[in-house]
Amino acid sequence: MRQFTPGNGHGSLVAFVDPTCPSCEQLVTVLGTAEQAGELASLRVLLLISDPPGYLQISDAFRSTALEVGQAVARADLAAYNASATPLLVAIDGAGVVRSAGPAAQLADVRAAIQACLLPPPDAALGQAQGAVIAARPERPARST
């Protein structure tokens, strides 16, 4: 089991996706396109699924992605992200602050999330939500490209 800890000086994109969701497949494909173009080079990207791991094989997008895929161990870990529907793309900055979260399926959505990760640190007085640690069972580590 591995842990995803937001922050540590590096921005992250966490995509709550499932192989049985057509919009999620589209997001995974778009994230792969951004990865191949080098747009995600400075970020950690994690695809979190709730479907059974065997379902990864029914989707070409999930089967062929080089991005890291995991499954949250405890539903409570997901509560901090209000991940009640998929696809949900969460942008977390290097300080571990959630900078944006919302549905995403287009390259423009991914690029907006990337920019949100790179925003200057927020004013502590604003009370930004902190990203929560997620214990994830790795279903497939990221493949080097």
Q: Over the stretch 112-124, which tens digit does the pLDDT of each residue have?
A: 999 999 887 666 5
Give the sheet arrangement for strand 98-102, strand by strand: 2-4, 134-140, 68-72, 44-49, 12-16, 88-92, 98-102
Q: Over the stretch 12-42, which tens digit does the pLDDT of each residue have?
A: 999 999 999 999 999 999 999 999 999 999 9
Contacts of 23 (CB under 8 A, 6+ apart): 86, 87, 103, 105
Q: Which pair of structure tokens corresponds to residue 72?
A: 């949250």
Assign 129 a pLDDT band (cuts: 50, 70, 90): low
Domains in the chain (CATH in brackets) are 2-120+128-140 (3.40.30.10)
| Percent of residues, the chain, with pLDDT higher than 70 | 82
Distance, CA of 117 to CA of 121 (rounded, Å): 10
Give whole-number Cα distances, 88 to 100, 123, 143, in Å: 10, 25, 22
In the numeric block, the tokens 């390259």 are attached to: 107
